[in-house]
Amino acid sequence: MINKYSEEKFDIRNFSYEELAAYLKAEGERPFRATQIFEWLYQKGAWSFDEMNNLSKPLRVLLTERFILKPRKIAEKQISADGTTKFLFELDDQQRIETVLIPTAKRTTVCVSTQAGCKFGCRFCASGIGGWKRNLTTAEIITQILHIKEESKKHGNPLSHIVYMGVGEPLDNFAHVMKSVRIINDKKGVNIGARRITVSTCGVIPGIEQLAKEGIQIELAISLHGFDNASRNVLMPVNRKYPFDDLMAACRAYIKATKRQITFEYILIKDVTCTEKAAAALKKSFKGIICKMNLIPYNPVSEFDCQTPSRNEMFAFKNQLERIGIHTTLRAPRGKDVAAACGQLRYTVDNVVRKMT
């Protein structure tokens, strides 16, 4: 079986449970074999078929002949003083993707990438600087999670939360992202509750509509960042395709259809996004929406001419939003010393490599 992205063997972690069960059935295997293989892959953390010692020898031989369990290749690892650890994985085609382990007192979160590079070009985000290369496969997404699951054990706290907030746009790689979500959520798979899985989007409306129909209770986060159409046009080119008002309408429809809240991500850039004008515009657009708004201080990227506001400015803006009834949290910047904002590790390392060659 050939991977559609290369001429190599198909990584078995691209199979959903149902696909694996159907495959094994066609091979004349008993149904419980799919459950056993899923347990080895996602609960016992096997990285080879040889380890799966409750499978019959012929089945192990068959799996080894037909499939692959690609090993991890870590190109770079950076550990921050606050424990945030960034991994840069190198894929078969030399693409590099980053994954972040974020340990806090109550939870251990992994931030996963969904694409190699990003095509959306937000004006403050390092992920888009080198352009878009390709979608990640389900197996490539899952492998990041399995690696962090293993790492988090070393920290003494099991992996509890998954956020699709690494490099790339999850809803632009919908099929692989959703397949990975279902494997993570599956009791026979990684077994993490849907409410502990967050998918974040820059505002790809067809993906939001599709997600509402999936019937899964995961969390949706919207990277809003602009306070009206004009400001969002400047900060996020995706807004030209999916304008601010249409996005807000899609969010209202999503909330109505799923009866779930949405988290909005809102970047704080000095004199741009945290002004009185911005607060007044948000008041208008958020009328009647019950939500949480995560305020994220701009994390400097040398390519962009943006500044982080002072603590006072940030808190003043937060208070303004609270006064008009928008519930906010001010995200504590984590892993600053390891360039933890989106795309920064990949970008920094690529740059260093470029300078060396």
Active site residues: 98, 342
Sign of CA dihedral 342, 100, 193, 179: positive
The answer to whether 177 and 170 are in contact (CB under 8 A) is: yes
Angstrom CA distances, 352 to 91, 274, 356, 357, stand at: 18, 34, 6, 9
* Options 34, 37, 122, 293; binder of ligand SAH; rule CB under 6 A: 122
Q: What is the bridge-based pairing of β-strands 74-79 and 85-90?
A: antiparallel
Q: Residues 42-81 vs ligand SAH: string with x where CB under 6 A?
A: ----------------------------------------
154-162, 240-248, 272-280, 295-303 -> range binding ligand SAH (CB under 6 A): 295-303
Backbone φ, ψ for residue 80 (5° rounding): -85, 160
Closer by beta carbon to ligand SAH, 152 or else 223: 223
What residues have CB less than 8 Å from 240, skipping those under 6 apart? 233
Of residues 254-283, those binding ligand SAH (CB under 6 A): 265, 267
301 binds ligand SAH (CB under 6 A): yes
Q: How far is the CB of 31 from ligand SAH (least distance, A)?
A: 37
Q: For residue 142, how many C-alpha atoms fall within 13 Å in the half-sphere facing its CB? A: 32
Number of residues that bind ligand SAH (CB under 6 A): 18
Helix (H) or strand (E) holding 296: strand 292-297
Closer by beta carbon to ligand SAH, 165 or else 205: 165
201 binds ligand SAH (CB under 6 A): yes
Q: How far is the CB of 173 from ligand SAH (least distance, A)?
A: 10
Closer by beta carbon to ligand SAH, 33 or else 334: 334
204 binds ligand SAH (CB under 6 A): no
Closer by beta carbon to ligand SAH, 144 or else 200: 200
Tally Cβ neighbours within 10 Å of residue 19. 12
200 binds ligand SAH (CB under 6 A): yes
* Options 165, 183, 211, 345; binder of ligand SAH; rule CB under 6 A: 165
* Options 296, 339, 340, 345; binder of ligand SAH; rule CB under 6 A: 296
> What are the E-state strand segments in 119-241?
132-135, 161-164, 197-201, 219-223
Picking from 170, 119, 115, 120, the residue whose alpha carbon sits closest to that of residue 137 is 115
341 binds ligand SAH (CB under 6 A): yes
Q: Is 343 left (phi over 0), alpha (psi -120 to 50) or beta?
A: left
Can you tell me the distance from the alpha carbon of 92 to that of 323, in angstroms, rounded to the nearest whole number?
51
Picking from 172, 250, 162, 163, the residue whose alpha carbon sits closest to that of residue 212 is 250
Closer by beta carbon to ligand SAH, 166 or else 189: 166
Contacting residues toward ligand SAH, per CB under 6 A: 122, 124-125, 165, 169, 200-202, 223, 225, 265, 267, 296, 298-299, 301, 341-342
